[in-house]
Amino acid sequence: MKNCTVRTLLSIALCFTLVFALAACQSPSADNSQPADGTDVPATGTPSTPEPPSFSEYTIRFDLNTTADPSDNELYVYEESGYDENWQPVTQEKEAVFTVPAGDDAYLDVTVPDPTREGYYFAGWQTRPTVTETDLVNGVSPYLWMTGQKLSAVGQVQLANSSAEEISARMLDNETMALSGLESLDENGNGTLYARWVEVKQISNEEELQAMANDLYGAYELTADIQLTQPWTPVGCYFQNYEYFETNWWTFAFRGTLLGNGYTISGLTVNGASVPSDEYRTNDTASVWHNDGVTCNGTAAMFSATAGANIQNLILSGTVIDVTGENAADGEYCYAAALTAFDIGSTLTGVSVENADIEVNTTEANAQYRDSLYTSVAGLAAGGWNTIIRDCSVSGNVSLNAETAKSHGGAIYLGGMVGECYADMSNCSTSDLTLTLNSEDLSDAADDTALAVSVGGLNGTNTSTTGNTVDAAINISVSKPTGASIVNVGGYTGSQLYMTAAENTVNAVITTDCELDEDAGILNVGNVAGRIDVYYMLQILQYTPVANSGATGNTASVTCNGQPVESIIAGLPELDGQPVGWINNGEYEITEGYTAPSNIEAIIEAYGSYVPQSSMMPGIVWITVE
What is the average per-residue pLDDT within 173-192? 88
The model's pTM is 0.89
* Rounded percentage of the chain residues whose pLDDT exceeds 70: 86
Ramachandran sector of residue 386 (left: φ over 0; alpha: ψ -120 to 50; beta: rest): left
Do 620 and 545 contact (CB within 8 A), yes or no?
Answer: yes
Q: How many residues does the chain have?
A: 626
Residues 51 and 55: their CA atoms lie apart, in Å, by 12
Higher pLDDT, 32 or 583: 583
Is the per-residue pLDDT at 583 higher than 70?
Answer: yes
Residues 470 and 249: their CA atoms lie apart, in Å, by 35
Is the per-residue pLDDT at 159 higher than 80?
Answer: no
β-strand partners of 320: 269, 357
DSSP state, 287?
A: S
What is the average per-residue pLDDT within 405-430? 97
Taking the CB of residue 11, how many other CB atoms lie within 10 A of it?
A: 18
DSSP state, 20?
A: S
Kindly write down the DSSP assignment for every residue of 238-253, as one continuous string.
--TTGGGB-GGG-TTS
Band (pLDDT 50/70/90 cuts) for residue 166 is low
What pLDDT, in 10s, does the model give residues 476-492?
999 999 999 999 999 99
Is the per-residue pLDDT at 27 higher than 70?
Answer: no
Of 36-40, 190-194, 381-385, 611-615, the poorest mean pLDDT is in 36-40
What is the average per-residue pLDDT within 548-572? 97
Spatial CA neighbour of 173 closest among 14, 248, 281, 298: 281
Spatial CA neighbour of 460 closest among 428, 410, 425, 495: 495
Is the per-residue pLDDT at 604 higher than 60?
Answer: yes
Strand 393-404 relative to strand 373-378: parallel, antiparallel, unpaired? unpaired
Do 97 and 61 contact (CB within 8 A), yes or no?
Answer: yes
Residue 50 has a pLDDT of: 54
Residues 334 and 359: their CA atoms lie apart, in Å, by 12
Is the per-residue pLDDT at 179 higher than 80?
Answer: yes
Sign of CA dihedral 576, 581, 585, 588: negative
Do 175 and 25 contact (CB within 8 A), yes or no?
Answer: yes
Is the per-residue pLDDT at 330 higher than 70?
Answer: yes
3-state secondary structure 297-314: CCEECCECCEECCEEEEE
Is the per-residue pLDDT at 20 higher than 60?
Answer: no
Band (pLDDT 50/70/90 cuts) for residue 289 is low
What is the average per-residue pLDDT within 146-174? 71
Is the per-residue pLDDT at 44 higher than 90?
Answer: no
